[in-house]
Amino acid sequence: MTSSDGIPYLTPEIQLFYKARGLRPKDETDFAAVLPVLTEAQRHWLADALARVYGEHPWLSRTRAGTPARGQARAGGDSGGVSRSPG
């Protein structure tokens, strides 16, 4: 994806997927901060990607349980589609 200024960026669920590999304290902090604002579709994508790649993962149960998202999908469409490849 790219910002309106043309700067490329990863959506939050994909960035968390990459961070899930190391499980550093700062990655756990990022996960805890971002999880509440992910849409249901984004949480579903992340849970599916974690399960496929890592099997059991410490974030998996929290991602599947999720927490109510504070907002709807971003303008321009829902970026949390599960059809996207994790890597």
The pLDDT value recorded for residue 51 is 95
**Residue 69: what pLDDT?**
42
Structure tokens at 70: 């504070």
Domain residue limits, the chain = 23-65
Q: What is the pLDDT of residue 87?
A: 47
Residue 1, pLDDT score? 80
State residue 11's pLDDT score.
Answer: 92
Q: Give me the pLDDT at residue 8, please.
A: 84
pLDDT of residue 37: 94
Q: Is the dihedral of CA 31, 34, 40, 44 positive or negative?
A: negative
pTM of the model: 0.69
- pLDDT at position 18 is 94
| CA-based radius of gyration for the chain | 13
pLDDT beneath 50, residues of the chain: 67-87
